[in-house]
Chains A and B, each alone.
Chain A
Amino acid sequence: MSSLWEYANPLKFMRTTDWLLPIVAVAAVVITTVGLVWGFFFTPDDFRQGSTVKIVFIHVPSAMMAINAWVMMLVASLIWLIRRHHVSALAARAAAPVGAVMTVIGLITGAVWGQPMWGTWWAWDPRLTAFLILFLFYLGYIAMWAAIDDPDTGADLTAVLCLVGSVFAVLSRYAANFWNQGLHQGASLSVAPGTRMDWAYKAPLYTCMVGFGLIFLALVLAGTRTEIRARRMKALAARERMA
């Protein structure tokens, strides 16, 4: 355990994730189940929002992971561009569909909650708009990977796309901000004093956030392992053809 960069070696990565992946996967299922059951059945109803408030236990973790997944792709793309570790590029590729699905979950749960609370499924509110735009960026990124046959070219192009896309995604976020404050409330959780949420909600919410993080980690690890195996099979097939 001398350095993080050891895991850039696919062999080392595979050997470590062999035992790590089942642990992460089981922990993800257990913690998410505990968090959701706790949140759905063992918290009081909000005095104004009733039981609809409980969608927060899916909405906030998925929205958080949707953004974190893009940040992780950004870091992985940078690592690929600078140090050219294949595992990093493959991890970025594996994270994109997971992040896209998290974005969709965030949008759908938001719409389901917004219908009774705001009286509308959708509003062109800055946060909502930015999330829809983030989803478009995920689509472009995934389509770019799918369009290119050569894996190294694909990794290079999508990495540059991810960097440029990040800048424009942030720009779009603040461009949408420009219209007005919109319907969406401010951050539900904050380290600043005077936070608005009671611990009765916060504790299961944090549990769900950890659970969603672990789900993301498990899916990305599994996806990366699949990509590595697919590469190996391609290499083996190429070697067979040469022989």
Chain B
Amino acid sequence: MIALLTRDLRLAFRAGGGFGLGLAFFLILAVLVPLGVGPDRTTLALIAPGILWVGALLACLLSLDRIFALDYEDGSLDLLATAPVPLEGVVSIKALAHWITTGVPLVLVSPVLGLLLSLPVPAYGWLLLSLTLGTPALSVIGTFGAALTVGLKRGGLLLSLLVLPLYIPTLVFGAEVVSRGAQGLAVGTPLALLAGITAGAVALLPFASAHVIRINLR
């Protein structure tokens, strides 16, 4: 499983892996919003938590179809499915690799983008914490979506239609943490709910994803 993780990471980081595309998208979004809304600092500060979370969500979505598509095309997914490692484990590792290559960079650059959107100072810590807690759920849910559409010719659009509604609870709680933090309110409840969703998704969704992949490979 560790070998699979390093292989996936290596494939993603090297040329043609599409690493950084999500980051660039995140950056462009954070630049476009002030251009569209206007540079007024109070307005920006008000919408910054939501924009940053929506941006992270969409940036995550960009790289989802790569999780299984290449392995499906060259046949390595068949090998992985018949390998002694349980497919549930393979799926979890794939989600982990996706999180390391897109989720973690998004978390790391988010304070800089918060600066661009004039996010209030007390919110930075909550932004980092909520994204750290929330992005694993985005990767795991996205892996489920990618598993559903793995055999399809034009899966990309369908993938976003399937995955985005599933992202709603994570988005609501994540953005709520940041905006409450920005106003200096208590954030315990949404933070706990966000962590709960992530924990539940990480624990249960790999089973659904593995089941779906078995169906698709049948």
The interface of chain A, by Cβ under 8 A from chain B, is 133, 136-137, 139-140, 143-144, 147-148, 153, 156-157, 160-161, 163-165, 168-169, 171-172, 175-176, 178
Contacts and interface: CB of A to CB of B under 8 A. Distances in A.
Contacts of A164: 144, 166, 205, 208
B174 to A, nearest CB: 10
B203 interface: no
B121 interface: no
Among A164, A172, A176, A178, the one with the most B-chain Cβ atoms within 10 Å of its Cβ is A164
Given A168-B169, A171-B169, 6 more contacts: A137-B165, A153-B151, A160-B208, A164-B205, A168-B166, A178-B172
Contacts, number: 70
A98 to B, nearest CB: 19
B144 A172 contact: no
Q: Is the interface of A mostly helix, strand, loop or mixed?
A: helix
Interface of B: 144, 148-149, 151-152, 154-155, 158, 161-162, 164-166, 168-169, 172-173, 176, 190, 193, 197, 205, 208, 211-212, 215-216, 218
Contacts of B215: 153, 156-157, 160
Nearest to B161: A140
Given A160-B211, A175-B172, A175-B173, A143 B166 contact: no
Q: Is the interface of B mostly helix, strand, loop or mixed?
A: helix
Nearest to A148: B152
A48 B166 CA distance: 40
Given A153-B215, A172-B168, A143 B161 contact: yes
A6 to B, nearest CB: 28
A140 B169 contact: no
Nearest to A137: B165
Nearest to B218: A153
15 contacts: A140-B165, A143-B161, A147-B152, A153-B215, A153-B216, A157-B148, A157-B212, A160-B148, A160-B208, A161-B148, A161-B162, A164-B208, A175-B172, A178-B190, A178-B193
A112 B76 CA distance: 54
Contacts of A144: 148, 158, 162
